[in-house]
Amino acid sequence: MNDWVKDRIRTIPDYPKKGIMFRDITTLLGDALGFRKAVDEMVQPYAGTGISKVAGIDARGFILGGAVAHQLSVGFVPLRKQGKLPWQTYGEDYQLEYGVDRLEIHQDAVSQGDRVLLVDDLIATGGTAVAAVQLLRKVGAKVVGCSFVIDLPDLGGAKKLAALDCPVRALCAYEGD
| pLDDT at 147 > cutoff 60 | yes
Q: What tens digit of pLDDT does each residue of 4-60 get?
A: 999 999 999 999 999 999 999 999 999 999 999 999 999 999 999 999 999 999 999
Confidence grade of residue 176 (pLDDT, cut at 50, 70, 90) = confident
Active site (annotated) includes residue 92? no
Measure the CA–CA gap between 129 and 38, rounded to whole angstroms. Answer: 20
Neighbours of 115 (CB within 10 A): 17
| 87, 106 Cβ separation under 8 angstroms | yes
Predicted local distance difference test score (pLDDT) of residue 96: 77
Domain boundaries, the chain: 3-173
Predicted local distance difference test score (pLDDT) of residue 177: 60
Active site (annotated) includes residue 80? no
Predicted local distance difference test score (pLDDT) of residue 1: 56
Burial class (CB in 10 A: 0-12, 13-18, 19+), 169: middle
| pTM of the shown model | 0.96
Torsion of CA 90, 103, 111, 117, to 10 degrees: -170
Burial class (CB in 10 A: 0-12, 13-18, 19+), 100: exposed
Q: What tens digit of pLDDT does each residue of 77-115 get?
A: 999 999 999 999 999 999 876 789 999 999 999 999 999
User: What DSSP state is assigned to residue 15?
Assistant: -
Mean pLDDT of the region 123-132: 96
Question: Which of 36, 80, 92, 97 does the annotation list as catalytic?
Answer: 97
Question: Which of 8, 23, 41, 60 does the annotation list as catalytic?
Answer: 60
| 127, 95 Cβ separation under 8 angstroms | yes
Q: How many Å is the maximal CA-CA distance in the chain?
A: 44
Predicted local distance difference test score (pLDDT) of residue 110: 97
Choose which CATH entry (3.40.50.2020, 3.40.50.150, 1.10.1660.10, 3.40.50.300) describes domain 3-173: 3.40.50.2020
